[in-house]
Amino acid sequence: MSEQPRQICILGGGFGGLYTALRLSQFPWEAAEKPEIILVDQQDRFLFSPLLYELITGELETWEIAPPFAELLANTGIRFRQGSAKAIDLDSKRVELQDGSEIICDRLVLTVGGETPLDIVPGCQEYALPFRTIDHAYRLQEKLRFLETSDKDKIRVAVVGGGYSGVELACKIADRLEHRGRLRIIEQGNTILGTSAEFNREAARKALTERGIWIDLETTVAQIDADTISLVYKEQTDIIPVDLVLWTVGNRVSPLIRQLPLKQNQRGQLIVTPTLQTPDYPDIFALGDLADCSDAGGQKIPATAQAAMQQADYAAWNIWASLTNRPLLSFRYLSLGEMMTLGTENATLSGLGLKLDGSLAAIVRRLVYLYRLPTLDHQLKVGFNWMTRPLRDMLAP
């Protein structure tokens, strides 16, 4: 009777989870050692989130940035389960899914993405839209179409948060609405893009100014209503009329993760070692947004897509090594710089000695992200579509 193969369960199909699974499937497993890799995500599609903004302006299509897991995992041997975890027993490494089924695994990888908190101010949950999933993008597109077909002379949009997401979103919406748009960014700090390189911050300021986007610094939101937003600046409250509020502030760890008896920081992120293992449960790995991680050199790891992709390589190696009696590697993070889209055919990037903005930066950004798409097959499909799109647009009636 053949022995049951060992199982690796990966909860979360974002950058950390999907790329860990794909890398694991590529290792040279001995036939007797090869485990079953199970990837669990509540959505049926992977989302390449840095390109989500391009859906708003119609620059990209859904299939390009959100391919189905079934397509990405074909011929990899990875088993995909659509669903979400209801409970996790750490001692037995037993995962109970919402549909009542169970997965018992030898290695468990936790890479469940966070969620945008909408209970921070009154009215936020009822009237503000977050922007981090395909469904959020669809809701925003629907709302914009409704406003565009209305008889409103001006469409007033408030974007809460002057970080990367808020700035990128504001520029894309401004380009879509053109002269009808009246946008403002609301930021409680004293500058936009507080953690960004100065070159990118200055390029962003220029892009916002060119589009007439107002920036409210050192300003907080007191309340959101159906057609107004209450802003507090220096203890003075102003009520501003608004047609659409977008909320890009905050990242909350999943309640499922917060209730686990694992070491956590004050934000509920799991504290992990440089090998990406949880200290008291070395068979459990955590990476991405939910992990509080410092690398081998003591460098604090940011919650970004590029960090999650790099962690995935190390997590996959260390899982493979732990199952094949090889040495584990401590994660070493290499910052490759940062890129932002600043409207249609406009971007900024800096890193590794390179600084670019404008249309050339937009081309480089798009090519870099094409290279980072999860599989070669998907890269080829998307790349071919991008190359032939100008011709198809020219021939369209």
Per-residue confidence (pLDDT) for residue 1, from 0 to 100: 37
CATH number of this structure's domain 124-247: 3.50.50.60
Alpha-carbon torsion, ordered 301, 79, 71, 306, to 10 deg? 0
CA distances from 201 to 229, 303, 350, 368 (A): 26, 19, 10, 20
Distance from C-alpha of 303 to C-alpha of 306, rounded to nearest angstrom: 9
Per-residue confidence (pLDDT) for residue 192, from 0 to 100: 96
| 7-42+83-115+252-323 and 124-247, same CATH topology | yes
Q: pLDDT tens across 127-137, in order?
A: 999 999 999 99
Contacts of 5 (CB under 8 A, 6+ apart): 34, 35, 36
| Location of structure tokens 């002269």 | 179
Q: Whose CA is closest to 19, among 72, 81, 65?
A: 72
Looking at residue 96, its amino acid is E
Q: How many helices and strands in the chain, by DSSP H and E?
A: 11, 22
Dihedral sign from CA coordinates of 242, 116, 85, 6? positive
Residue 368: CB atoms within 10 Å: 15
Low-confidence ranges of the chain (pLDDT < 50): 1-2
Tell me the H-state helices in 155-250.
Answer: 164-177, 198-210
Instruction: Specify the CATH superfamily of domain 7-42+83-115+252-323.
Output: FAD/NAD(P)-binding domain (3.50.50.60)
Q: pLDDT tens across 46-73, in order?
A: 999 999 999 999 999 999 999 999 999 9
The domain ranges of the chain are 7-42+83-115+252-323, 124-247, 338-395
Per-residue confidence (pLDDT) for residue 303, from 0 to 100: 86
Per-residue confidence (pLDDT) for residue 128, from 0 to 100: 97
**Residue 377 main-chain phi, psi, to 5 deg:** -60, -45
Report yes or no on whether pTM surpasses 0.85: yes
Distance from C-alpha of 296 to C-alpha of 293, rounded to nearest angstrom: 10
What is the total residue count of the chain? 397
Q: Whose CA is closest to 83, among 5, 20, 36, 13?
A: 13
Distance from C-alpha of 142 to C-alpha of 147, rounded to nearest angstrom: 9
Q: pLDDT tens across 366-393, in order?
A: 999 999 999 999 999 999 999 998 777 7
Per-residue confidence (pLDDT) for residue 390, from 0 to 100: 75
Across-strand partners of 356?
A: 349
Looking at residue 270, its amino acid is L
